[in-house]
Structure 1
Amino acid sequence: MKKLFAIAVAVVLFGCQEKAEKITDSNDYNQYLSTKNTPSKDAIETQFEFWQKRFNNDSTHLMEMSRLSGIHAALFGSTGDISELKASEALIKKSLTTSARNKDTYLRSLAHNYISQHRFKEAQVLLDSAYTYPDNRRETEMMLFDVAMELGNYQSADTLLGKIKDTKDFNYLIRLAKWSDHNGNLDAAIKYLEQAQQIAEERNNKDFKLWIYSNIGDFYGHAGRLKDSYNSYLKTLALEPDNHYVKKQIAWIIYSFEKNTEEANRILDSVMVNHKAPDYHLLKAEMANFEGNTSEVKKQRNLFLKAAKNPNYGGMYNTYLINAYTETAPEKALKLAESEVNNRATPETYQLLAYAQLKVGQKEAALKTIENYVEGKTSEPKALFHAALIYKANGMTEKVAALKEELLEASYELGPVTTREIIKL
């Protein structure tokens, strides 16, 4: 389990009303909260206009289709509009059908699109097909590793990691970090990410730096290195002022560690002007719950459910929906959890299934699921919290006590609302 600042646990345990140690400073990020400061989005839209004009003149040209598919995917990233990702999918499919050469390239592109949509099994099929081509097999192997991890095919992932081994390669190191984290070795994961960061900075590769600063910021947070996490997020914003992801992560630091929901909401409100994603409403609902504002909790949860029901999302928000339904419609949560396990059988999806089983009154089945598919297979705090609830329901007090101490050390990751529940265990 990742170690966190002792003060964070102390504030929760003893009910101290004082603010926790300050990590953030609004002067650091205020300049990035302007809803009109969207350079990345503006650049993408300029490219779109150029290539769309060329595409309108001849919709059969592969170059135009390829560029536009990438631009639509980038627009999805910058706006959260799922229709952009679906538009990208349609163009890649057309390119794949039209092309006589480079089939592997289009197969990987479509697989990447499907991964973004959480259509992992379909992505696996595409990558297996791409792997039959002799060119660029290492690129395919890297993506096959990514999909294997998502599907819970860890033996296959280990084999693929060996095939792409190159300790001087950025793309290998970030995957080695993911593998290390999966195996519970957070320190090693951070070490490999720091090596990848050195490569990104030495090459002055903007795309690499954007990826590594935001992702290593997450890992620092898992390790309780919140100041390092915050500084990494600021580095991301310096390169990409309209990066919605790291703004949300900064909002989490301000809410979960500093307990300042007003400031966290201010940041989220600025993000939500230009980026539309259902899960923002869940964070707002959690903060309202922390404040005891039940009407706002209900409002934000309903906004999430309404947004997430867009059929274009497919299964992208299944894990969020399962958690939401366990509180209001547990039978629906159970059905969705069973579907999600079928889609990707990982310890993280199995723990959701177990939690849904508990919520419908199947405490023995929930325990069996935890013991067979979760226990000893993940150190994710949310999975351990649900395991603790299931142990408690089955009268396994010693196991609950052992997990409780571990979970309190993860109070930052889990957030104040869940931490209150942990104290009651």
Structure 2
Amino acid sequence: MKKIITILFIAIFFGCQEKAEKITDSNDYNKYLITTNIPSKEAIEKDYEFWQEKFNNDSTHLMEMNRLSGIHAALFGSTGDISQLKISEKLIKKSHDIAARNKDTYLRSLAHNYISQHRFKEAQVLLDSAYAYPDNKKQTEMMLFDVAMELGEYERADTLLGRIKSPKDFNYLIRLAKWSDHNGNLEAAIKYLEQARQVAEERNDQALKLWIYSNIGDFYGHAGRLSDSYNSYLKTLKLEPDNHYAKKQIAWLVYSSEKNAKEANRILDSIMVNHKAPDYHLLKAEIATYEGNFSEAEKQNELFIKTAENPDYGAMYNTYLINLYAETDPEKALKLAAMEINNRATPETYQLLAYAQLKAGHKEAALKTIEEYVAGKTEEPKALFHSALVYKANGMEEKVATLKEELLGATYELGPVKAKEIKNL
């Protein structure tokens, strides 16, 4: 996250906050909101039928299992159905068990699956095992970097980043961008992502372009470059018309920047026809809260909890659940926060613990958590916001004022509901 606040921005925020700049145009994306005849999903399902038939004839063939595990993972990406990811996991495990060679490949595949499930420690164990094999060490090192960042093992991540250094390599550049962002240098992160985008476009690699267009769109949003962010999401949709992530991010832009709740809900409703991820309910709850429709907000939050507590999701939605339970059941939030810290002890998870401690009435414990594990270690807006709340509860108004000034530059990321709370800090 950046430190971007300026006098001009503050003046604009306080003087013209009701005059939101119009960035989006529904004519740009309406064609991507069609909920029938989804080409990519149909292609995946056709591929699935072909390989499933072969697998039914001989369930010991590695090629069939490998293809099916990839197809089930793709179906998870396309539909949000967590059971598809679990089926993929089982197929990868079976492939690893019967394979006579290339064991490291299956270990990396299973680790990738575990990363998607937020099972980071288990993924790290698999990758450390894969690293013992002589081949493909760079691929393993890249994934070990990703896991180290998720686990808060930043010294190891730095070492691994040095090992994979290759200034013109796409995979190195996107990780260098992640490292720069972690260190609070958003400008450098965007520079490296733009270099990675150039590599992807020069190679005309659709998979790389899809990844970079959606991800750099997020970073442009963090930097307040909302037109660039929007156009990058449109590029994503041009390549993959049913890309649910890009559509969700456009819905956020329409809501958070333009304050058009009705249009944001229309976009979300179209996504939710074919993609069933729980967190759409959270966004709809946030929009309902902004509109003052608190019964609808409560309904959407309950739908999220009901869906996210499916055991198959494991810890995937713990951070969201902690935020919700901190308001309604702080003791439950505390237990979940402790579990999440055991899963990955990062400044971002510790700030959730502090928030739960604060809501449970343990303001001194919350302050200790912030001072020891969060302050000066992250620039993420949610962490700064929760830190400000903790400081306020402990009467530390000077620190609150400093964070408030910085948070005013992050209201797009936090949304209109939090923006009002920031003003009241």
Contact 1:319 1:352 in 2 (8 A): yes
For 1:263 and 1:328, the matched residues in 2 are separated by 29
Give the equivalent residue in structure 1 for 2:413.
413
CA separation of 1:407 and 1:303: change in aligned 2, threshold 3 A = same
**Higher mean Cα deviation, 33-42 or 199-208?**
33-42
Write the mapping of 1:85-104 to structure 2, written as runs, cut at 5 A: 85-104=85-104
For 1:224 and 1:2, the matched residues in 2 are separated by 11
Write the mapping of 1:21-420 to structure 2, written as runs, cut at 5 A: 21-420=21-420
Contact 1:237 1:246 in 2 (8 A): yes
For 2:64 and 2:251, the matched residues in 1 are separated by 39
SS in 2 for 1:274: coil
CA separation of 1:70 and 1:110: change in aligned 2, threshold 3 A = same
For 1:6 and 1:270, the matched residues in 2 are separated by 39
Contact 2:5 2:406 in 1 (8 A): no
Percent pairwise identity: 78
For 2:247 and 2:9, the matched residues in 1 are separated by 21
SS in 1 for 2:273: helix
Q: Deviations over 1:157-209 (max 9, x none)?
A: 00000000001110000000000000000000000000000000000000000
The letter for the 1-side match of 2:312 is N
CA separation of 1:101 and 1:237: change in aligned 2, threshold 3 A = same
Q: Deviations over 1:100-136 (max 9, x none)?
A: 1000000000000000000000000000000000010
* TM value normalised by structure 2: 0.98
The letter for the 2-side match of 1:232 is S
For 1:47 and 1:167, the matched residues in 2 are separated by 37
SS in 1 for 2:371: helix
Paired residue total = 424
How far off its partner does 1:12 sit? 5.5
CA separation of 1:79 and 1:22: change in aligned 2, threshold 3 A = same
For 1:26 and 1:136, the matched residues in 2 are separated by 45
- Any stretches of 5+ residues in structure 1 without a counterpart? none
How far off its partner does 1:43 sit? 1.2
How far off its partner does 1:39 sit? 1.6
For 2:140 and 2:19, the matched residues in 1 are separated by 49
For 2:14 and 2:306, the matched residues in 1 are separated by 36
* CA RMSD across the alignment: 1.3
SS in 2 for 1:331: helix
For 1:308 and 1:116, the matched residues in 2 are separated by 15
How far off its partner does 1:13 sit? 3.3
The letter for the 2-side match of 1:70 is G
How far off its partner does 1:3 sit? 3.3
How far off its partner does 1:46 sit? 1.1
- Any stretches of 5+ residues in structure 2 without a counterpart? none
The letter for the 2-side match of 1:362 is H
SS in 1 for 2:354: helix
For 1:9 and 1:401, the matched residues in 2 are separated by 14
Contact 1:411 1:419 in 2 (8 A): yes
For 1:89 and 1:201, the matched residues in 2 are separated by 32
* TM value normalised by structure 1: 0.98
